[in-house]
Structure 1
Amino acid sequence: MSKTYTAKDVAEHKDEKNGGVWIIVDNGVYDVTNFLDEHPGGAKILKRMGGKNASKQFWKYHGDGVLKKYGPKLKIGDLAETAKL
């Protein structure tokens, strides 16, 4: 069973000093802390998006193949459903 996280949980992980760098892509939560130095676009953009929903920026620069290749090793859970009011 996959772990679920709230957007608040993810927001608490915005840099390496505070539990790592997590991002949201679609409904997945990814820990990119150990991928910072490997990211072809550089660590800066991942650090800038740390703790946030990076879906728009991710899909602007990446195809589905990137998520299929790297997603399984970086995904730590799913974003919890929140009530829409």
Structure 2
Amino acid sequence: MSKTFTPANVSTHKDASNGMYIIIDENVYDVTGFIDEHPDGSKILKRVAGKDASKKFWNYHNEGVLKKYSERLRIGSVGEKAKL
């Protein structure tokens, strides 16, 4: 399922009860179920939930990581430029 989100909509998804969404390069990912799998722990994902995490993501990951998890976690895209 691919859906279009606004940055404001993504910002409401910042905890487990509402789902934890992040933006990476204008794509939206639901990381709610990935929290316990994240190699560096849940703390990092909780800090960026509801936000554009592109800069932080690319500081620590390469394109292979995004390709590996994209199909499973990507739920849509941002319909307007993120300003979070």
Normalized against structure 2, the TM-score is what?
Answer: 0.92
**Number of paired residues?**
81
**Where does the alignment leave 5 or more consecutive residues of structure 2 unmatched?**
none
Select the structure with the greater relative contact order (CA < 8 A; seq sep ≥ 6). Answer: 2
**Where does the alignment leave 5 or more consecutive residues of structure 1 unmatched?**
none
Aligned to 1:71: 70
Aligned to 1:54: 53
Aligned to 2:11: 11
Partner Cα separation in structure 2 for residue 81 and residue 16 of structure 1: 25
Identity %: 59
Partner Cα separation in structure 1 for residue 22 and residue 12 of structure 2: 11
CA contact (8 A) 2:7 2:80 kept: no
Aligned to 1:43: 42
- Pick the structure with greater CA Rg: 1
